[in-house]
């Protein structure tokens, strides 16, 4: 029995020695192929970049001259935002295969990302030199020219790319973007319309269509495209609704829609001070002063240093005849801008409404000190003098106003000698 066991063990040992080297060689060959396709799947389909990287690194351990593995590591790094590392690996692939056009293309894109535009330009040119019908390389060349502000060259490159890939929405988009940049808005619109006809979910194309239609004064079309863009570009929709708020004001009876657009902007981004301010301004135009005050208070809560917010809030309180709060707001504004004649005038006017003529006079005088030709401050001061029975002093303000604004001067004169 022992002899039989020894024979079996010996046979098994000899079998392993014989077959194992063949298994290793076979396993390595299959492993490289399997690892490569597994890595490509992880990179392109599953977007699992670190797992893909492990596959390609393992391939290079097994075959240090595996060109495609270096290229794919470049792809992984570029997609992961590690552009310097991507450049290293693309260059290694090119070193092993100098005519590798796809590696030159990836290299060009990576250089673009780190703002080495001239290097990217040369990389795209090399890609085209080795593969003249490489549509993506012509497209990349257009991107590089665009960054260098060589817009005519960019257009030529994009048009060449379009000849090779006539159904590529991205090329149409970038042609539209380039024509927009040089102020040829109708051409831009034509290309952008083509982009959205190919890709009906192309949010950026709808956005730029809106901008171009705005430039040529076609506000209805601008609004239509920007509304579409807002539904597709969720990350920037609050900014688009903010822009829509201004565009709706340019069309007849559009103020209500403008208010709704500004509201949407604030609902999407509750920290959007500009949208709250614009909303308050429109409410003020509508005479809805309580809503104005609430909107301006939101601005202050978000950004207490917001330019002129207390000044505007003060005038809203004046409209509601809450003069005490108006004075508080104007004085807050004065703390932030102590040399602003408008704020002194606003305080003078508010105190005059409270018949506090002493304070009103002081603030009107301060406004005139800062801005001697301040028409309404002179007029307000004239009214104060009249209210106090000082016709001679009021007449002095009339004399000054005659040299500044005859119409306002005549109004004061009529009050002096009514």
Distance CA 125, CA 155 (A): 16
- The phi and psi torsions of 215 (rounded to 5 degrees) equal -60, -35
310's CB contacts (< 8 A; 6+ apart) are 300, 329, 330, 332, 333, 336
Provide the whole-model pTM.
Answer: 0.85
Give the CB-side neighbour count of residue 28, counting CA atoms within 13 A.
Answer: 10
- pLDDT of res. 15: 39
213's tokens: 């239609």
Angle between helices 309-319 and 273-285 (to 10 degrees): 30
Q: What Rg value do the Cα atoms of the chain yield, rounded?
A: 36
- pLDDT of res. 418: 83
364 contacts 377 by C-beta, under 8 angstroms: yes
210 contacts 196 by C-beta, under 8 angstroms: no
Q: What count of other Cβ atoms lies within 10 Å of the Cβ of residue 340?
A: 17
Angle made by CA atoms 206, 210, 213, in degrees to the nearest 5: 130
- pLDDT of res. 31: 80
123's tokens: 């990389």
pLDDT along the chain (418 residues), means of 10: 41 39 40 91 94 94 96 97 98 97 98 98 98 98 98 98 98 98 98 98 98 98 98 97 98 96 98 98 97 98 96 98 97 96 97 96 97 97 95 95 96 93
Secondary structure string (H, E, C) spanning the chain: CHHHHHHHHHHHHHHHHHHHHHHHHHHHHHHHHHHHHHHHHHHHHCCCHHHHHHHHHHHHHHCCCCHHHHHHHHHHHHHCCCHHHHHHHHHHHHHHCCCCHHHHHHHHHHHHHCCCHHHHHHHHHHHHHHCCCCHHHHHHHHHHHHHCCCHHHHHHHHHHHHHHCCCCHHHHHHHHHHHHHCCCHHHHHHHHHHHHHHCCCCHHHHHHHHHHHHHCCCHHHHHHHHHHHHHHCHHHHHHHHHHHHHHHCCCCCCHHHHHHHHHHHHHHCCCCHHHHHHHHHHHHHCCCHHHHHHHHHHHHHHCCCCCCHHHHHHHHHHHCCCHHHHHHHHHHHHHHCCCCHHHHHHHHHHHHHCCCHHHHHHHHHHHHHHCCCCHHHHHHHHHHHHHCCCHHHHHHHHHHHHCCCHHHHHHHHHHHCC
Angle made by CA atoms 273, 274, 280, in degrees to the nearest 5: 90
- pLDDT of res. 26: 34
Secondary structure string (H, E, C) spanning 69-123: HHHHHHHHHHHCCCHHHHHHHHHHHHHHCCCCHHHHHHHHHHHHHCCCHHHHHHH
């Amino acid at each position: 029995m022992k002899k039989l066991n020894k024979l079996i063990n010996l046979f098994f040992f000899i079998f392993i020695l014989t077959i194992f080297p063949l298994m290793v060689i076979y396993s390595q060959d299959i492993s490289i192929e399997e690892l490569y396709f597994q890595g490509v799947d992880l990179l392109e389909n599953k977007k699992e970049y670190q797992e893909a990287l492990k596959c390609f690194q393992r391939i290079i351990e097994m075959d240090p001259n595996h060109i495609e593995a270096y290229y794919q590591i470049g792809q992984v790094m570029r997609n992961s935002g590690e552009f310097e590392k991507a450049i290293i690996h693309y260059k290694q692939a090119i070193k092993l295969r100098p005519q590798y056009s796809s590696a030159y293309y990836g290299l060009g894109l990576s250089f673009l990302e780190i703002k080495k535009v001239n290097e990217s330009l040369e990389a795209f040119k090399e890609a085209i030199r080795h593969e003249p019908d490489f549509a993506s390389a012509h497209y990349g060349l257009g991107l590089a020219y665009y960054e260098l502000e060589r817009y005519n060259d960019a257009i030529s490159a994009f048009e060449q790319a379009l000849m090779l890939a006539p159904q590529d929405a991205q090329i149409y988009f970038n042609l539209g973007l380039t024509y927009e940049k040089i102020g040829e808005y109708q051409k831009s619109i034509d290309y952008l319309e083509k982009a959205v006809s190919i890709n009906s979910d192309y949010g950026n194309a709808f956005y730029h269509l809106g901008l171009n239609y705005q430039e040529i004064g076609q506000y209805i079309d601008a609004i239509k495209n920007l509304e579409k863009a807002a539904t597709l570009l969720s990350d920037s929709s609050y900014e688009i609704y903010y822009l829509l708020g201004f565009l709706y004001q340019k069309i007849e009876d559009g103020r209500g829609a403008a208010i709704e657009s500004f509201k949407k902007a604030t609902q999407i981004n509750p920290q959007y001070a500009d949208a709250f301010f614009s909303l308050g301004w429109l409410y003020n135009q509508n005479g809805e002063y309580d809503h104005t005050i609430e909107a301006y208070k939101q601005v202050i809560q978000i950004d207490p240093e917001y330019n002129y917010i207390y000044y505007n809030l003060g005038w809203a309180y004046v409209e509601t005849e809450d003069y005490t709060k108006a004075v508080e707001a104007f004085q807050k504004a004065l703390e932030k801008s102590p040399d602003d004649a408008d704020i002194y005038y606003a305080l003078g006017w508010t105190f005059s409404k409270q018949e506090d003529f002493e304070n009103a006079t002081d603030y009107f005088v301060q406004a005139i000190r800062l801005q001697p030709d301040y028409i309404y401050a002179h007029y307000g001061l004239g009214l104060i003098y009249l209210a106090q029975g000082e016709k001679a002093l009021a007449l002095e303000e009339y004399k000054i106003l005659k040299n500044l604004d005859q119409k306002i001067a005549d109004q004061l004169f009529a009050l002096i000698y009514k």
